Amino acid sequence: MVSPAIALAFLPFLLTLLIRYRHYLALLCRAVLVPWLRDRATGVPREHRAFQYVLAHAVPGDPRHVLHAFDRWCDRREHLSSVGPVKGRIVERLLRERAPWRVLELGTYCGYGTVLLAQALRPGARLYTVAVDPRHVAVAEKVIRLAGFDERTVELVAGPSEEVIPRLRPRHGLAAADFVFMDHGKRCYLRDLRLLEGHGLLATGATIVADNVLFPGAPHFLQYAKTCGKYRCRVHRASLEYCPGIPDGVAELRCLGDG
């Protein structure tokens, strides 16, 4: 048994930990515990609950309104791992500055990032988006079409990124991407960047943008980008989506030569 005196001695330490890590504890509750309990109670996955909310509150054919509906859901209901509005503005700005013709997105989840990218495309540009989970693909496709984008603008490709990337040119007609947005498994960032290099899928001067490089983090990806000599690398610091108390960042890589 722990004596009351020892317990009281540890109390200030525990309070300090709770205060210091309160944002992470709140994230654990909102992103893991609460959705898990609601999944079990309702039998409806969190992604479908979010889509039903967006369907009820967004204006069809209005990408901005679709994104705002997602943001309201994530702010007031349950946390979803989308890029969010703060980092989304960084990604959108970089996309508009580069004005690419061919955009590749790795990791669409519920379609938030796809809609964000698609609404910022120049006329005639095309977006290829890759998602591995069939359940997420089904939701993402509904969200993309709800926002008003058809197959001529956005092509949704289902499958693991390591399998999809080698067939992007022969099967989907992507000669080389001018802009790549990574928002899938953080451990996959470096592997998939090297796959894109190996298959010649990065156009000269291409831009690669990667989310969550500080939290949960992609240290090996960042180290490679900064030291391999192929890229000019910059990290745009921000906060984690829908969690202003947790620091995060978006990496911007600019190809220095041929991809």
Residue 230 CA from chain centroid, whole number? 24
Burial class (CB in 10 A: 0-12, 13-18, 19+), 168: buried
- Please indicate whether residue 241 is annotated as part of the active site: yes
Q: Which of 87, 192, 212, 252 is catalytic?
A: 212
Q: Which of 78, 211, 248, 252 is catalytic?
A: 211
Task: Classify strands 126-131 and 202-210 as parallel, antiparallel or unpaired.
Answer: unpaired
- Please indicate whether residue 186 is annotated as part of the active site: yes
- Please indicate whether residue 192 is annotated as part of the active site: no
Q: Which of 47, 178, 241, 252 is catalytic?
A: 241
Say which residues have a Cβ less than 8 Å from residue 37's Cβ, sequence separation at least 6. none
Contact assessment for residue 141 and residue 129, using Cβ atoms and an 8 Å cutoff: no
- Please indicate whether residue 183 is annotated as part of the active site: yes
Say which residues have a Cβ less than 8 Å from residue 42's Cβ, sequence separation at least 6. 49
How far is residue 210's CA from residue 194's CA, in Å, rounded to a whole number? 14
Q: Which of 183, 192, 248, 252 is catalytic?
A: 183
Q: Which of 47, 87, 186, 230 is catalytic?
A: 186
- Please indicate whether residue 150 is annotated as part of the active site: no
Active site residues: 183, 186, 211-212, 241
